[in-house]
Structures are given as C-alpha cells and as structure tokens.
A and B are shown apart, each in its own frame.
Chain A
C-alpha cells in the first residue's frame, strides 16, 4: 500500500470528538469504538478501510436501534466466515464514530486458506443455489413462525398482588419473572429473525454480481439500471401493500364512499362516518381484510424505531388512497402497467442477448440471468418480512415494555426507551422487577431519566455533524459481495466521496452525482420531503428529493416529474418505481436533501446520474 493511497482518507483515530459529547462511547456497545489503548487492535483498525453506512443509517445510531446492526454484524459475518465459507472474505466488522456507523469488509489474506475454503464454498453454496426454491419456502415458514411467536409474546404489567390462579394452579412463576423472560424472548426473536435475514442474502448478491460482471465484460458501457431491469421482479411482495391501496380506492368508488374518504379529517373521523352506512361498513371490512399483513409496511426503511407502519397510523394509507381517488376521478389509470413492464423487460433482455456474438457467451448469459432471476425474488421479498412486518411489530412490543418502565418511573416517555442499550434495559428491568418483588424503591428512576436527557443532547450534536464517507486505508480490492452490490464501492464512488469531502459544505456544490436510476432528462422545481408525512406538499410535476423512499411513498410517484434520493442503488425502490412510471431518477447522491432546497429549479439527468441547479 503506497503512502499516497493512505493519505486519501483520515485515520479513524484522528477523527475528533464533538465538544460536549465527551463520554459518548458508553451509549454504544464497547467493542464498537476505535481504540488507542490496545496497540494490536489499533494497528488493525488503521490498516482497514471503514466506510460510513449511510445506506442503512442516514441518522446517528440510537442506543437501542443498534440492535439491528449487531444482528446483521453477526448474521452476515457468520454466513460468510463460518457457514458458506466464502473463500476470499470473512465478515464485515463494525465501528461507531461520533454516533455514525462504519463498516469494513474483512478479507482472507492467506492464499492457502482461500484455497482451502473453495471446496467448502462450492459444496455448501452450491447446495443452496441448487435447492433455492425449496429452501426459500422453508425460510418463509420459519420466518412466519418467528413473527407468530412475536405476536404471541405477552408483555404484562406487574400486579400489586399476583392473580390467585398462580396459587390455585400451582404455576410457581411471577409476572416479574415473566417480564424478564418476555424481554429476553423479544430480543431473541429479533436476533433470530436476522439470522434468517442473511441466510440467502449474500448468496443472492453473489449470483447477481456475477451476472453484472459478466454483462459488463460483454458490454462495458451498459448502464446498471438496464441490468437491474433485466433481473428485477415484476410482481414482488413489496408492491403488494400499494396495490391493496389502489384496490381500496377503486372499491371506494364502486361503493360510492369515495366522497367520505376524500373529505377532510384523519382516519378516525372518516371511520366514524363510514360506520354509519352499509356501504361504508363494507369498505371498512375490505380494509380490515388487507391490514394484516399488508399494512405492516413501514413508512421508512424499518431500520429506525420512528419508522411507523400503516397499521400504526392509518392516516398514512388514507392520504395515499385520497391521492389515488383524485387520479381515478381524473380518469388516470393507477394500476402498475404490469404487462407493459414485462414487455419492456423482455425487449431489453432480448436486445442485449441479440448483441452477443459468441454462442458460448449467449449460453452463459442465459444461465446467469436465470440464476439471478431465481435468487432475486428473495433479495426483494425478505425486506417485507423482516424490515417491515417483523420490525414494525417488534418496535411496538418494545413500546409495551417501555410503558411498564414509564409506569415505574424509569423513563419519562415511552419514546425515551430508544436511548437505552438493550443490555441496559435488561439491567433496568432487573432493578425494576426486584424492587417490585421486594417492595422497595428501584434505583433506576434516579439514574436513567438524567442519563437519557444527556444522551438526547449528545445525539443532537451528532446530528449536526457530517460523518466522513470513509476512514482508514483504502484497499486494492474488495471481494465481499454485499459491500460491492449494496454500497457500490468502486473507484468512481470513492473518488466522488473524496471530492465531496474536499468541497466540505454541500451548499457550494452546483452539481451532484449519484447512480443513474431511471433514464431521461427533465427540468423542474425541487420539493424536498424528508419523510413520507411530507409528501402531501408535493405538487403535480415537481421533482421529489427524498432521503430514500419505500412503498409507502408510492402515491408520490404518480405526481412527480423525477426523483432524487440520498441513498440507494439502481435496485432501490425509487429507481424501480421511476423506471416503471418512465420518469428520470438519480439515486444515492449522498446529500441531495441537504444540498437542494425546495423551490429550486433543477435538471435531473437519470441517464448520466447527475443533478444540476438551473440558474
């Protein structure tokens, strides 16, 4: 490694702490910090390349929400290192700097060991690829069972006196013990769910990367979005929630209750009005039928506790239904043109295929495309089961635990729970339960509220800080499939990051680059929407600028001229949906929502992947 490449990124230990946050390290697991008191570990940390995982964590980490990070830290790494023996890579290591999460793929450096892992990999991964559909079906069963256990989990308050049943049925256990056990089970279910999350994911990515690599050999200039289009599923589970809303909108028109739905007021008001009529009750019954599970779709990515799902807030789907009703009344078709999308996918595939001259290459193309299309439904569908459905129910279960802690004075507000690490919650519950059992005052109410207050201040300061895109030493090669596909770590992206860092303040950048997500060029007024709640402000024909989008954002896409996001690659929701609507998209710009202001006229080139401010 040359001195020059070392100098490109700051060393992790050189990143300065933010004044007023001293001691922040204690709010995260101890092994997440970069260390200076262990020379061996420090040397390792300096030679590794750590990049900021803005894709999953556009915000600083909440002490509780880091559970999913720990879960995938374990799950991804174990599958690479210990289960499938991916020859040249171990897992992905994690650290936190000033609240932001950095990750680093760990290579296998000994060629002999790589060699030794090959046979295991071929046997084990080969088995999964060969039995993909059967194993995925089994996966679905396992995951649904896990969600079933989560739903069945009871979080019960602590009674002043245990029910007499405990005595007369000889139960021999208290509600205090049950609370501790339920919390452990809750955490266990979360970790288990993530064990499954990664069971197929990296193999799926590896097959997809192989297809991409092969196509780039044949077609060095091929836009990534075209490759994505050849592989992406057309009727995947992720579209289902939005499809259900469209059906509900049509149903409302059929039943003649669309006027009630479109009247002002939140869902509670609308529901009251609907209950008063036969047609209204019919519509509500149709709604009830699809809420489980399709309304467990999160308004965000599902990674943060504040990403609420539709079932948490029915105003969210109601707003979408209203948008669809408007469109239907204008005579605009709202259904996805599935046949057209399929025809376009087939046309693109056939055209690329026809450009391949060698028969051998055409056969390989067919094989790899086939493999990619086999694995891809999992890559797309797991998100609904894990990040949306499971997470949404999981956050709410923890809110039930938080309610008990609030009742006992451990926290002032249910939403304060996220400022505690899961191990701290366990400690606090012990404090709470033993004090309850003993009939004394717990210590917690004098400890946690002030600690939480301080942590809130620290996180505010973290939020104002701009994490460097990467720290450490740039490697010559990255072989970890997940890292390659998901973050698109390439020379170009690294150079762009380095430039962004030089430019410092985003406001001075007249031109932003990202991934070309959906082709085409348009000019229009930008509308920055930081969350799905803000899409109501979008006007017809504006350009949506968002941190990221998810299926909850779907109604926005019927209005917009183009879309720009901070995070995401060519397979992200915004890119896929824009391709379907035929509007340009530039995704993964890193900083569009902080650089672009609402009302600014911008030019979005979804073929080049650039955004320019029009003077």
Chain B
C-alpha cells in the first residue's frame, strides 16, 4: 500500500480528502473542482503532522501534561498549553518533511512567477468545518508569509495551535482524544486583494434562499471576518443576479500588506474611500454568480470568503478563499409556508382575510 503523502497540492484534494488534509484544505480542493478561482497552494497532510509530532519528541509531554490536567482550571490549562506549544514551535522537522515543504513552496513560487511568493499559512483541522462540530476560529491563520524558512516556521505554529488552551478544553469537553486528533496546514498564495469579505448564498437575516448577501471592505477580508468594521452590504437576487440593495457603510480601517515590512497589518482607510462602495457593480454581480454556481455544486447554502484582485490592465479576478455550509437556516426545521391539504380556494380566502397590514 502506498504511504499517504506528507504534502500534496490543493488542486489534488476534494471534499473526500478531509481525513488526509483537514476540512479547510479539502474544501479548497473541492472549490477548485467546482470551477471556482482559488489561489493555488499545497497542504501539509495528517501524515505530515504525524511525522512532525513523532520527530518532535513531544509525545512524552502530551502524556505527562494532559492525562492529569484539570480542564476546569484555567491556569493549569494555560500553563500546559504554553509549554506544549513552545516545545512544538521550536521542534525540528524531519529532513524528509522539511524538504518536501520547501520543494512544494519552490514549485508554487515558480508557478506564481515569484520565488518568494507571499502565502497565507492556515491550520486545517480534521474536525474543523464539519457541520455541528465547528472548531472555526480555534486555529490560527498567518498572512503574507514569504520564503521557505518563514513558511516552515508558521507551519510549526499551526501544528502547535492544536494545543491552544481553548482547543484543549474543547476537546476534553467533547470527549475527543488528543492523540487521535490531527491538524493539517494549508499554504496558499496570498491574494493581494483590493476588496474582500464574506458572502452568504441566502439572506442570513430572514433565510430567503433566493438572496445572496455580500459583506465587503477594502483590502484583505480580515477586517470583515474579524468584525472590525461595519462592512458594505450588497443584496443580490440569486435568480436574476440583479443588485437589490446597496448599503455602503463608513469603513475606517482595512487590512493590507505593508509594502516596506512585507507584513499584513491594519491601516486607516483614506477619508475619500471611507464612504465609497468597496465593490463595483460588475464585481458584485460576478461574485453573486460564483456563489450561485457553488451552491448548485455543493447542493446546500454556503458561507463563503472571497477576495477581489484588481489587475493593472483593468482585469479583475474574483477568488474564493473558503466555503462552509451555512448552518443557521439550514439546520432550522422548516415549517411549510402552506398548511397541509389547503386548496387554492382556502389559500385565497386566508390571504384576503389576512389583508395588507399597515403599521
């Protein structure tokens, strides 16, 4: 039997690869299959994580610190977490794993025409993003990482994030075994986005499945995802792909790369942009069209992260960075809007009796 790869391309992943590359990377692979434009990248697999853990000499730490730990004691929890993470973050990779990661990074750089291509390094938990067991936000995500050395460093930090205090407590509460869980890491070309945000393929406020709702701000999506700004909100009709409503908010900050230090950070938004729409109409429509197609591919409503990169020649690329099943409305038991066995006459009568209510 062929051994599982330590590292693999995202475009070779699919929804079925969750056990190998974690939910996030599997989902990115699936997105590529669905025809979405997704920034290229690779995944460090479960096998990669296991090899790293085995080589790190951390097993004894896990055994000694976690077996007796009182998870209701936050201080003890923090101390154990800190020690394990410090150990993992300074542990060395096996030569094989280090070579493979470096080689994939080199080839990614080749593909992107930039040897030091900036990437996002994100943890991809094997239990994350699965409906009803959302670890979302419990693992780390590092932006604008450049060079193989840096990538290796942040891959380690992602591995270590599996032992954050909250993650430890959560697993204990849910009865997950610390030895059984594993974490993968996605390394993906960074989109130098002009605007980014989230998109729901239904209206999160009323559940309307014929609506697509987009939240957007200038720069990277972090300001929207992290709730640091009130984003612009665009409501699009899914069937006709027409914009039904534009609510342009006052946005004071945004995230982008600091060109000098080459790190992603928060900036004050220029005054003249604060109340300007962060997306153009044609971008809104294109984005909504992508959301609609993806929903049809997956067969259920989605919660998507996206980024728009405006090229110099006026060309715009709309990237999808993340797709999750929408959970709030999708899990709600839907009561049929019409009573069982009602005839059109019954419905006409009840409509007339209900009338048009005026406030």
Number of A-B residue pairs, CB cutoff 8 Å, is 140
User: With A88-B353, A223-B242 as given contacts, are A210 and B358 in contact (CB-CB < 8 Å)?
Assistant: no
The CB with the most chain B CB atoms within 10 A, among A483, A520, A607, is that of A607
User: With A207-B348, A210-B347 as given contacts, are A360 and B354 in contact (CB-CB < 8 Å)?
Assistant: no
Report B-chain residues with C-beta under 8 Å of the C-beta of A110: none
| A226 to B243 Cα, complex, angstroms | 13
B239 within 8 A of A: yes
Cβ-closest chain A residue relative to B347: A210
The CB with the most chain B CB atoms within 10 A, among A88, A207, A210, A221, is that of A221
| A206 to B245 Cα, complex, angstroms | 29
Report B-chain residues with C-beta under 8 Å of the C-beta of A88: 352-353, 355
A172 within 8 A of B: no
User: With A351-B239, A520-B242 as given contacts, are A214 and B338 in contact (CB-CB < 8 Å)?
Assistant: yes
Smallest beta-carbon distance B239→chain A, Å: 5
List the one stretch of A396-404, A415-423, A471-479 in contact with chain B. Answer: A471-479
A358 within 8 A of B: yes
Complex contact B208–A221 (CB within 8 A): yes
| A126 to B245 Cα, complex, angstroms | 40
Contact with A along B133-169 (1 / 0, CB 8 A): 0000000000000000000000000000000000000
B357 within 8 A of A: yes
CB proximity to A under 8 Å, residues B320-346: 334, 336-338, 340, 342-345
Report A-chain residues with C-beta under 8 Å of the C-beta of B210: 219, 221-222, 352, 355
Contact with A along B306-317 (1 / 0, CB 8 A): 000000000000
| A89 to B358 Cα, complex, angstroms | 16
Complex contact B344–A371 (CB within 8 A): yes
Complex contact A221–B203 (CB within 8 A): yes
Report B-chain residues with C-beta under 8 Å of the C-beta of A86: 352
| A114, A118, A360: the one within 8 Å of B338 (CB) | A360
A191 within 8 A of B: no
Complex contact A519–B240 (CB within 8 A): yes
Report B-chain residues with C-beta under 8 Å of the C-beta of A126: 345
| A223 to B245 Cα, complex, angstroms | 11
Report B-chain residues with C-beta under 8 Å of the C-beta of A358: 334, 336-337
User: With A221-B206, A352-B210 as given contacts, are A476 and B349 in contact (CB-CB < 8 Å)?
Assistant: no
Complex contact B356–A477 (CB within 8 A): yes
| A210 to B354 Cα, complex, angstroms | 10
Report A-chain residues with C-beta under 8 Å of the C-beta of B239: 226, 348, 351-352, 355
Report A-chain residues with C-beta under 8 Å of the C-beta of B356: 477-479, 483-484, 489-490
Smallest beta-carbon distance A366→chain B, Å: 10
A357 within 8 A of B: yes
B11 within 8 A of A: no
Complex contact B342–A476 (CB within 8 A): no
B237 within 8 A of A: yes
Complex contact A478–B355 (CB within 8 A): yes
Complex contact A210–B337 (CB within 8 A): no
B3 within 8 A of A: no
B235 within 8 A of A: yes
Smallest beta-carbon distance B83→chain A, Å: 49
| B209, B338, B345, B358: the one within 8 Å of A494 (CB) | B358
B281 within 8 A of A: yes
| A150 to B126 Cα, complex, angstroms | 82
Cβ-closest chain A residue relative to B281: A521
A499 within 8 A of B: no
B226 within 8 A of A: no
Report B-chain residues with C-beta under 8 Å of the C-beta of A481: 352
Complex contact B347–A607 (CB within 8 A): no
The CB with the most chain A CB atoms within 10 A, among B240, B246, B281, is that of B240
| A479 to B352 Cα, complex, angstroms | 6
A361 within 8 A of B: yes
Cβ-closest chain B residue relative to A480: B355
| A505 to B355 Cα, complex, angstroms | 33
Complex contact A361–B208 (CB within 8 A): no
Contact with A along B63-100 (1 / 0, CB 8 A): 00000000000000000000000000000000000000
Smallest beta-carbon distance B4→chain A, Å: 38
Smallest beta-carbon distance B188→chain A, Å: 32
Report B-chain residues with C-beta under 8 Å of the C-beta of A360: 336, 338, 340
B132 within 8 A of A: no
Cβ-closest chain B residue relative to A476: B358
Contact with B along A12-52 (1 / 0, CB 8 A): 00000000000000000000000000000000000000000
| A221 to B347 Cα, complex, angstroms | 21
A87 within 8 A of B: yes
Contact with A along B204-219 (1 / 0, CB 8 A): 0011111100000000
| B237, B338, B351: the one within 8 Å of A223 (CB) | B237
Report A-chain residues with C-beta under 8 Å of the C-beta of B343: 367
CB proximity to B under 8 Å, residues A122-136: 122, 125-126, 129
| A519 to B239 Cα, complex, angstroms | 12
| A185 to B118 Cα, complex, angstroms | 88
Smallest beta-carbon distance B215→chain A, Å: 16
| A122, A129, A223: the one within 8 Å of B244 (CB) | A223
Complex contact B208–A219 (CB within 8 A): yes
Report A-chain residues with C-beta under 8 Å of the C-beta of B347: 210, 214, 364, 368
A220 within 8 A of B: yes
Contact with A along B180-213 (1 / 0, CB 8 A): 0000000000000000000000010011111100
Smallest beta-carbon distance A89→chain B, Å: 8
Complex contact B208–A87 (CB within 8 A): no
A209 within 8 A of B: yes
User: With A87-B352, A210-B351, A368-B344 as given contacts, are A221 and B281 in contact (CB-CB < 8 Å)?
Assistant: no
| B238, B245, B344, B352: the one within 8 Å of A129 (CB) | B344
B227 within 8 A of A: no
B175 within 8 A of A: no
Complex contact A608–B344 (CB within 8 A): no
| A206, A219, A491: the one within 8 Å of B352 (CB) | A206
A213 within 8 A of B: yes
User: With A207-B348, A364-B338, A474-B358 as given contacts, are A87 and B242 in contact (CB-CB < 8 Å)?
Assistant: no
| A516 to B235 Cα, complex, angstroms | 15
Report B-chain residues with C-beta under 8 Å of the C-beta of A82: none
User: With A121-B349, A477-B355 as given contacts, are A367 and B244 in contact (CB-CB < 8 Å)?
Assistant: no
Complex contact B209–A87 (CB within 8 A): no
Report B-chain residues with C-beta under 8 Å of the C-beta of A357: 209, 334
Report A-chain residues with C-beta under 8 Å of the C-beta of B237: 221-223, 226, 519, 607
Cβ-closest chain B residue relative to A86: B352
| A360 to B348 Cα, complex, angstroms | 17
Complex contact B243–A608 (CB within 8 A): yes
Complex contact A220–B206 (CB within 8 A): yes
Cβ-closest chain A residue relative to B206: A220
Complex contact B349–A122 (CB within 8 A): yes
Cβ-closest chain B residue relative to A229: B240
Complex contact A361–B338 (CB within 8 A): yes
Complex contact B342–A364 (CB within 8 A): yes
Report A-chain residues with C-beta under 8 Å of the C-beta of B246: 608
A217 within 8 A of B: yes
Smallest beta-carbon distance B250→chain A, Å: 20
Report B-chain residues with C-beta under 8 Å of the C-beta of A273: none
Smallest beta-carbon distance A19→chain B, Å: 35
| A430 to B207 Cα, complex, angstroms | 68
A218 within 8 A of B: yes
B113 within 8 A of A: no
21 A–B contact pairs at CB < 8 A?
A87-B352, A88-B352, A89-B352, A118-B349, A122-B349, A206-B352, A218-B337, A221-B237, A221-B244, A222-B208, A223-B242, A226-B237, A226-B240, A357-B209, A358-B334, A474-B358, A475-B358, A477-B355, A490-B358, A491-B359, A520-B242
Residues of A at under 8 Å CB distance from B? 86-89, 114, 118, 121-122, 125-126, 129, 206-207, 209-210, 213-214, 217-223, 226, 348, 351-352, 355, 357-358, 360-361, 364, 367-368, 371, 474-481, 483-484, 489-491, 494, 516, 519-521, 607-608
Beyond contacts A210-B348, A371-B344: 9 other A-B pairs, Cβ-Cβ < 8 A, are A125-B348, A209-B352, A210-B344, A210-B351, A213-B354, A221-B244, A223-B242, A355-B238, A607-B242
